[in-house]
Amino acid sequence: MIDYIALGLTHALIMLALFRVLVRPDLDREDPLADEPETVPAPPPSPRDKRRARRAGRRGDDA
């Protein structure tokens, strides 16, 4: 008997939480700027990265 009460209680709480989330008014609105990704410029390569690129170019490696 207790197992059925615990099972019913947990399912009822899940359904209550789901219902409360679904009736929120902000679910129907979208931020128009949220679809546009922010463009962040890439940081300049460090001196270490420059040296690695030069060495890779001399060896003929791609990476």
Domain count, the chain: 1
Locus of tokens 């899940």: 14
- pLDDT tens-digit map of 2-32: 799 999 999 999 999 999 998 887 777 776 6
Q: Tokens 């410029």 label which residue? A: 41
Residue 4 placed within a domain: yes
- The answer as to whether 6 is a domain residue is yes
Rounded to whole angstroms, the Cα distance separating 21 from 43 reads 41
Please indicate, yes or no, if residue 36 is contained in any of the structural domains.
no
Report CA-CA distances (Å) from 27 to 9, 16, 18, 30, 56.
27, 17, 13, 8, 51
Q: Is 58 a domain residue? A: no
Per-residue b/e over 9-28, b at no fewer than 16 CB within 10 Å? eeeeeeeeeeeeeeeeeeee
pLDDT at 16: 97
Note down the domain range covering 22: 1-26
What's the predicted TM-score (pTM) here? 0.42
Instruction: Establish if 32 belongs to a structural domain.
Output: no
The answer to whether residue 10 is domain-embedded is yes
